[in-house]
Amino acid sequence: MTKVAAIIGGGVIGGAWAARFLLNGWDVRVFDPDPEAERKIGEVLGNARRALPSLSDHTMPAEGAISFHDTIAEAVAGASYIQESVPERMDIKHQTFTAINAACDKDAIIGSSTSSFTPTELSSEQQDKSRIMVCHPFNPVYLLPLVEVVGGSTAAPEAVEACMEILTSIGMKPLKIEKEILGHIADRLLESVWREGLWLVNDGVCTTEVLDDAIRYGFGLRWAQMGLFETYRIAGGEAGMLHFIGQFGPTMDWPLTHLMDTPELDDTLVKKIADQSDAQSGMYSIRELERIRDTNLVSMMRALKAQNWGAGSVLANYDAETKAALGEPDLSGLVRTVSRTVPLDWLDYNGHMNEARYLQAFGDATDRMMEIVGCDAEYIASGGSYFTAETHIRHIDEVSAGAEITVDTQVVLGAGKKMHLFHFMRASDGRLLATGEHMLIHVSLETRKAAPPAPHIEEKLVAIAKAHEALSVPEGMGRFVGQGR
């Protein structure tokens, strides 16, 4: 199979399809009559190049070549995969498929980004309907894995399988939808929320902002990792899905939404759901599902905290409060620079805190010491900071999630551009877990080169270093890797 994709129709969706293929090493041939197409696709490509490689822990294939063509016939020449993303009008779709079919390879897969039409409708004017199917993606297409693949009653099962293989190879999650239906699955769910949301805004119950917050601080986080039914399975607890779903029967008549068309939640439907839920999640106990869910939520919310966004900004604000409550540190002896729990997302395959997280904790300790001497966010914004030049860590003992750890810091040297720190990491029972020795250099953030710190910072640092001269030289200071004890 040639790794050549034709993108018919650019824009936000087509452009992102182009990016997915291109960054996975495919050559991409674009047809879009919009004279602005190249610029618009270039902008989407810029976003994709910025973000998509971040998902991978290995270098992606070398980018393919992108070319723009004046006709559909020219664009589809030699393509093994063709994605149609033209406007959602049946007449345009039919013309497009006729032009594609007239010129494309006889075994090329033809996917449509449509949310409004079924494969039967899309292929109705084509003699060969076997390779035309819905491949409905989600914005941003270059990041979100989902593609709803609908072959319907017209596409050949082998073509659907071949299509799913291609989509998997470019990092996507093709989801086979067995029945043809307007809106497929996801857009039907989105449409119901959209209509209810419009009512709520229309009736002045809430603003768009409050509605969005009601999603992203709550069930939106759940739905990033488990869907509707798996989440409710957990809510049902050990009583089981059959019992849990059954109790919703009477509520189907409640006006809990403006949208009052409801299926009858009779025994047959209740059992159908319970059986499907068993097939979907029955390999896990409810307790296991709870823990998987919780670890996922913790990991995602911590990821959002690093971006200070949404639920993550709630955590960041909470951290700022708990930190302020610690008060001013005593600087005359070792300085308590970290006091925290080892979070669930810091473990590795050996079942203990990963080595890189030791340095993360020591880095936090260093940040705290920088802040104490006055190198805080405001100072950094003014153009000065400390960069770590050299690090030595002894990993002395293990620690697992949930353990309380502390870091205490000795300022070995603080003079001129240099800050030499020695960190002691301990468990709550006093066990020494690790030591970290670090040389930091003050830099200008403009030149990115060594530069003296502001006088008030050097003064504070020197004072602490002077006080710490009374402390003993840390055991292990000046060690090199592999040195005898």
Q: Which of residues 97-116 bind its own copies (CB under 8 A)?
A: 116
Nearest distance, CB of residue 458 and its own copies, angstroms: 18
Closest distance of CB 74 from its own copies, Å: 28
Q: Which helix (H) or strand (E) holds 399?
A: none
Contact 21, 96 (CB under 8 A): no
Residue type, 90: M
114's tokens: 């449509």
Q: Is 476 assigned to a binding site?
A: no
Helix (H, G, I), strand (E, B) or coil at 115: coil
The only residue of 31, 117, 138, 379 in contact with its own copies, by rule CB under 8 A: 138
For residue 116, give the 3-state DSSP assignment: coil
Give 473's DSSP letter. P
Tell me which of 413, 427, 454, 463 binds its own copies, using CB under 8 A: 413
Minimum Å gap between C-beta 96 and its own copies is: 21
Q: How far apart are CA 379 and CA 455, in angstroms?
A: 12
Out of 36, 107, 217, 243, name the contact with its own copies by CB under 8 A: 217
Q: Is 25 annotated as a binding residue?
A: no
Binding to its own copies (CB under 8 A) within 303-362 occurs at: 303-307, 309-311, 314-315, 317-319, 321-323, 326, 339-341, 343-345, 349-351, 354-360
Confirm or deny that 237 is annotated as ligand binding: no
Piece of 2-10, 29-37, 102-110, 270-278 that binds its own copies (CB under 8 A): 270-278
Say how far apart CA 349 and CA 347 lie, in whole Å: 7
Per-residue mark of binding to its own copies, 271-290 (x: CB under 8 A): -xx--xx-xx---------x
Cα(79)–Cα(166) distance, rounded to whole angstroms?
Answer: 13
Between 73 and 200, CB nearer to its own copies: 200
Instruction: Give CA–CA dist 102/81, Å, rounded.
Output: 15
Pick the piece of the chain touching its own copies (CB under 8 A) from 67-75, 95-103, 201-209, 462-470.
Answer: 201-209
How many residues make contact with its own copies (CB under 8 A)?
183
Helix and strand totals (H; E) in the chain? 17, 14
What string marks each residue from 218 to 257 as x (binds its own copies by CB under 8 A) or -? xxxxxxxxxxxxxx--xx-x----------x---x-xxxx
Helix (H) or strand (E) holding 355: helix 355-372
Closer residue to its own copies in complex, CB, 98/168: 168
Cβ contact 88:156 at 8 Å: no
What is the DSSP secondary-structure string of 13-76?
HHHHHHHHHHHTT-EEEEE---TTHHHHHHHHHHHHHHHGGGG-SSPPPPP--EEEESSHHHHH
Rule CB under 8 A: which of 360-399 touch its own copies? 360, 363-364, 377, 380, 385, 387-395, 398
Residue span binding its own copies (CB under 8 A) among the ranges 105-113, 126-134, 144-152, 459-467: 144-152
Q: How far is the CB of 230 from its own copies (least distance, A)?
A: 5
183 binds its own copies, rule: CB under 8 A: yes
Among 69, 161, 295, 431, binds its own copies (CB under 8 A): 295
**Does 263 help bind its own copies (rule: CB under 8 A)?**
yes
Single-letter amino acid code for the residue at 216: R
Query: b/e per residue, 206-220, with b = 16+ CB within 10 A?
Result: eeeeebeeeeeeeee
Residue 10: CB minimum distance to its own copies, A? 13
Query: Residue 132 and residue 126: Cα distance in Å, rounded?
Result: 9
**Residues 51, 92, 102, 473: which binds its own copies (CB under 8 A)?**
51
The answer to the question of whether 13 is labelled as a binding residue is yes
Binding to its own copies, residues 416-455 (CB under 8 A): 420, 437-439, 445, 448
Q: Is 64 annotated as a binding residue?
A: no
Q: Consult the annotation and say whether 240 binds a ligand.
A: no
Rounded CA-CA distance 22/68 in Å is 13
Residues at the annotated binding site for NAD(+)?
9-14
